[in-house]
Amino acid sequence: MLIAVDIGNSSINIGYFTKTSLIVQHFDTIPLKNATEYRRIICKFMSQNHLEKNIFNVIISSVVLSHTSVLKQTFKDLIGKEKKKIMIISHKMNTGLRFNIHNPEKLGTDRIAAAVGACEIYEPPVAVLNFGTATTITIVDKHRNYIGGSIMPGVGLMNESLDMGTSRLKKISLRPPSSALGTDTTDCISSGLFYGTAGAAERILDEIEKQTGSKFKIIITGGHGTAMDKFIKRHHKLDPDLTLKGLKIIYEKN
């Protein structure tokens, strides 16, 4: 079994790849726990899903440096004396991609994993729309060159900023609106968050396609990906576990 760990700003997602299935565990990134507590949470989930008797290797992607060493230690403790590998991904590994960008060492490893998953599963040229804490667009051309993308605040961050930055607009429950035309303050905020984010993402894609002269297959993923799915008008695929699948592919390549 392979365990793929995606440590994001809002949630930690762990994919357990057995011979026949993928089982996914989610829990909040904040607050940071110690290795003993993470081990308890993971062992309980593995026991509930009858995974505890499997021998496993581990691959980790992290954009939260404070958590990386703690989760690595957690899995070292779980592996014990077994000589199994814990892999931390970076742009220097064999990913099947070439990074045609400035400072690839600063690129979020979750974006690398999602790009690899999109290329291997759906074939390039691809655009990955990851609706998470941030809304990111990742572009890989037909030659598997990672050529760049875009970053903007995610719907959750925008929701929080309205609450913090205004006196009368309060944080709302993140439920997709039934209409773009809001009839009260809550509906108006919801419309702005969901339709606004979708419109911004599609406008950015329009401009990238003009600049590159390419048309991209669009893959949607991320914690808010399922909620955003119906707001993207362009033809696309929804793959909530794309990053975890990409981690598995990177592990196999290395």
Over the stretch 196-216, which tens digit does the pLDDT of each residue have? 999 999 999 999 999 999 999
- Judge whether 79 lies within some domain: yes
| DSSP code, position 241 | T
Residues 151 and 243 in one domain: yes
Same domain, 111 and 129: yes
Tell which residue, 162, 169, 225, has the closest CA to residue 197. Answer: 225
Question: Do 51 and 147 sit in the same domain of this protein?
Answer: no
Q: Which of 29, 64, 88 is the last residue of a domain?
A: 88
In a domain, residue 161? The reply is yes
In this prediction, residue 79 carries a pLDDT of 86
Which residues are catalytic, by number?
A: 110
Spatial CA neighbour of 56 closest among 33, 80, 21, 38? 80
Please tell me the total count of domains within the chain. Answer: 2
Mean pLDDT of 173-189: 96
In a domain, 14, yes or no: yes
Q: What φ, ψ does residue 219 adopt, rounded to 5°?
A: -120, 130
Residue percentage of the chain with pLDDT more than 70: 99
Residue 138 DSSP SS3: strand
CATH of the domain at 187: 3.30.420.40
Question: How far is the C-alpha of 254 from the C-alpha of 251, rounded, in Å?
Answer: 5
Paired strand residues for 150:
137
Q: How much is the mean pLDDT over the chain?
A: 96
Residue 225: inside a domain? yes
Q: How confident is the model at residue 156 (pLDDT cuts 50, 70, 90)?
A: very high
Range of the domain at 61: 2-88
One domain for residues 72 and 123? no
Same domain? For 59 and 110 the reply is no
Query: Are 63 and 134 in a shared domain?
Result: no
Short-list 81, 70, 83, 115, CA closest to 96:
115
Nearest of 184, 199, 210 to residue 234 by alpha carbon: 199
Residue among 32, 1, 29, 28 nearest 15 (CA):
1
Same domain, 83 and 117: no
My answer on whether 65 and 125 are in the same domain is: no
Q: What is the pLDDT of residues 8-53, one digit of tens each?
A: 999 999 999 999 999 999 999 999 999 999 999 999 999 999 998 7
Can you read off the two tokens belonging to residue 227?
């909620």
Of the three residues 55, 88, 121, the one that is the final residue of a domain is 88
Q: Residue 83: pLDDT above 80?
A: no
Supply the pLDDT for residue 53: 77
Give me the sign of the Cα torsion angle 196, 201, 205, 208: positive
Q: Kindly report, residue by residue over 46-72, the tens digit of the pLDDT.
A: 999 999 877 789 999 999 999 999 999
Residues with Cβ within 8 Å of 245's Cβ and at least 6 positions away in sequence, in order, are: 15, 22, 117, 121, 239
- 203 lies in some domain: yes
- Final residue belonging to a domain, choices 88, 116, 142: 88
44 and 147 belong to one structural domain: no
66 & 124 share domain: no
The verdict on residue 93 lying in a domain is no
First to last CA, the chain: 16
